[in-house]
Amino acid sequence: MSGKITENKDNSKGGSVNTKSPLGYSESKMQEIARIAARKKAMEGAFEVMPHGSKIYFIAKGWESSMIEGDPKVKCVMTLKDFRDAFCSVDIKTIFIPQSFSKSNPEGSIVTMSQIQKVCSQHANNKVIYMEVDKENNDGQQ
């Protein structure tokens, strides 16, 4: 989408399409707002404080987890090595751990809570971690 607003002509044959949202935001701005809303909604749910102050938020698979997973400011990890590397990186502030099978993760996440706790206890970094869990089990117990 170009983000350009076209004139809407009122006639019986139809008119042009508005390429911006009704509020006047571009598609990329709407995506950014949706990602922020998803992170805030996830932070309203169950969480656990890890050693050294990191917080892990448990988020059910849905629009929120999809928005967080696709956020360019969030590092998505699928293995323990990826998690450890992201956790130790000073450039990465937020980590997402997918739970279930998806196109980007056909194997499913293989990072467990005990592994997360161990990495957090070994490294004094403060991160925000989102962990995708079953909808029925939204408290992180896997």
Q: What is the mean pLDDT of the chain?
A: 78
> Residue 12 has what pLDDT?
43
Distance in angstroms (rounded) separating the CA atoms of residues 55 and 130: 8
Q: What is the pLDDT of residue 121?
A: 92
Give the mean pLDDT of 51-64.
Answer: 90
Tokens describing residue 65? 């987890």
pLDDT of 1 over the 80 cut: no
> What is the reported pLDDT for 113?
86
Token pair of 56 as six digits:
């892990």
pTM for the full model? 0.71
pLDDT tens digits, residue range 84-132? 999 999 999 999 998 755 555 555 567 888 899 999 999 888 999 999 8
The Cα–Cα gap between 15 and 82 comes to: 50
Can you give the residue ranges of every domain in the chain?
27-133
Does the structure show a pLDDT above 60 at 5?
Answer: no
Confidence band for 136, pLDDT divided at 50, 70 and 90: low
* 86 touches 92 (CB < 8 A): yes
- Which helix (H) or strand (E) segment holds residue 56: the answer is strand 55-60
pLDDT of residue 109: 65
pLDDT interval class at 16 (50, 70, 90): very low
pLDDT at 103: 53
